Structure 1
């Protein structure tokens, strides 16, 4: 079958790599893709949010399955766009409806959903500039550190964790009055800080049945020892060593099942991924946030561990036929280390030539922010490459990834050397 994958990051290269392992994939198109996806499929020069162009492309190329990588097309309603167009309605698409995507598109909607369905999460309240004074007072009732979240999409950067009350109040003013994170911070959710260790849980659902994919832990801060600014993610480890069978049972019973039941009760059309950002407090799981697609860079560590034909799984979810489908997972550990441009997540330069990509080895090199220029692969984003390795344990896998990184270089290249250090 011909498959269209939307997106251009490391997540999409990992999807493209895995999809093309399937004998059922005749031709994979990636829109817009990057220099890495061009190695496994054919890039299509159109934005993932250009719905009319996507329609034209699907019909001209006889696309039989659409896989949506990033959140933006989902929040903008691409699934509804397909469902409402007689020419597209028969094409299965992996992703939730616009209402379902609001679980990521609005932090407030997600928190209210959790409350309605008794899903454990932190205490919270949300504010706009109209009730800023109440927000400033609410902060005074909280114990530090103070967590401020832009309600809308802010590319993974709209969360502030601050120890000082005056600073938290100043940032709240900046977010609401000056729109520090653009339209995303016209509403701000203030929530209780939960102290514990984080992990990501991934679920594929057709809105009725579900399959739990491998867990992962990602590393958000730019600096070693989890210091400095938040990024889109500097590395990931899968599985999470502390998420044993008993803890996973708690996650399934208290969080996954009530989430799926909530989606059913509220009659939300949802055929895609649910990424549940969790925190382990003591021995109990709490939800930090929902995302409505796979995470990045966790995807680069999770997908290589899936041994089942990914196209079969995706098609079953998109057609509402997930019940009874099997999921086989590689018992080995996978680790991903992200190479970023100097200066990221603030200003950085693009167009730096990347060398060492031709070296053969066991590790998988997923492209994130790359493009082709005059026959050479150059940097085009903050996060440039994700290096994934598999081994019997995560420490061995990390050694492999770091060894592969030594053969790669580009001007200003930076990466964290402490991924997985907190896992023992």
Structure 2
């Protein structure tokens, strides 16, 4: 609190704090696309916010994500739909707030019960890099139907494979960091992996760093173990001066028998 309120660690974003009930559990991010009347449920994901392994150190914008989340089974998701998603959309209608687009439900799983931590009217990052590769339905068609208010009856096909996304960041992030570091190895993406740029920019024929969170690697595999191997194999081929990434993304889900 002293760093945020006195030392202005996050600038205006930490000028005020909200005191809430402490919830002990595991976080999960749930996403829907709604036209204001109907909605389509997108794949869920778990993200890893701390800079250090074993969830140590300060919070970041996100250091990695896994989708699907093993505990988000049919029973858990039914509770989410009935007690959170549908009442939220109904509440928007009752308050005459027309809304069309994504809703991001930041939830906490407390002994099998979902609690809302936050809402966002966007997708998440790095959750998006894990969930989008699992969507097999044409996303443009869904977005078009949403914009026209025609999501009723629309369904979505989801790849049953597991996606693991790992963020590569600049040394010093989430504190002070340097920019303009030349990135090597972007031309050698391994099969089964995808690289998503974030804090990068072109510099002549090269690509250089231009932010704290620089890029992500996503691996898509049959389970968490396989997807992790693919994601980390991709990152091992990419480098820039003082680069850093967590090496434990998904380990906790792998140990609990995640898909």
| Equivalent residue number for residue 232 of structure 1 | 61
- Is this contact kept in 1: 2:190–2:233, CA < 8 A? no
Q: Which moved more, 1:402-411 or 1:231-240?
A: 402-411
> Aligned equivalents of 1:392 and 1:193: distance in 2?
35
SS of corresponding position for 1:405: helix
Equivalent residue for 1:383, pick from 213, 222, 226: 213
| Equivalent residue number for residue 287 of structure 1 | 116
Aligned residue pairs, count: 253
Equivalent residue for 2:132, pick from 303, 322, 330: 303
| Equivalent residue number for residue 189 of structure 1 | 18
| Equivalent residue number for residue 370 of structure 1 | 200
> Aligned equivalents of 1:199 and 1:209: distance in 2?
22
> Aligned equivalents of 2:189 and 2:7: distance in 1?
50
> Aligned equivalents of 1:200 and 1:368: distance in 2?
20
SS of corresponding position for 1:249: helix
Tell me the TM-score normalised to structure 2 length: 0.94
Equivalent residue for 1:397, pick from 224, 227, 231: 227
Does residue 342 (structure 1) correspond to residue 166 (structure 2)? The answer is no
Structure 2, gaps ≥5 residues long: none
| Equivalent residue number for residue 317 of structure 1 | 146
| Equivalent residue number for residue 202 of structure 1 | 31
Structure 1, gaps ≥5 residues long: 1-167
1:25-424 alignment to 2 at 5 Å? Answer: 175=5, 181-185=10-14, 187-362=16-191, 363-423=193-253, 424=255
SS of corresponding position for 1:188: coil
Compared CA separation, residues 185 and 345, structure 1 to 2 (3 A): closer
Tell me the TM-score normalised to structure 1 length: 0.58
Answer 1 or 2: which has greater helix percent: 1
Larger radius of gyration: 1
Q: CA RMSD in A?
A: 1.5
Superposed CA deviations along residues 299-322 of structure 1, whole A, max 9, x for unmatched, are: 000001001111101111122111
- Is this contact kept in 1: 2:189–2:234, CA < 8 A? no
> Aligned equivalents of 2:227 and 2:25: distance in 1?
25
Larger relative contact order, structure 1 or 2 (CA cutoff 8 Å, min sep 6): 2
SS of corresponding position for 1:247: helix
Compared CA separation, residues 332 and 270, structure 1 to 2 (3 A): same
Return the offset for 1:187. 4.2
Superposed CA deviations along residues 328-378 of structure 1, whole A, max 9, x for unmatched, are: 111111110000000000011111111111114221011011100011011
> Aligned equivalents of 1:220 and 1:340: distance in 2?
13
SS of corresponding position for 1:270: coil
> Aligned equivalents of 2:241 and 2:19: distance in 1?
39
Return the offset for 1:182. 4.1
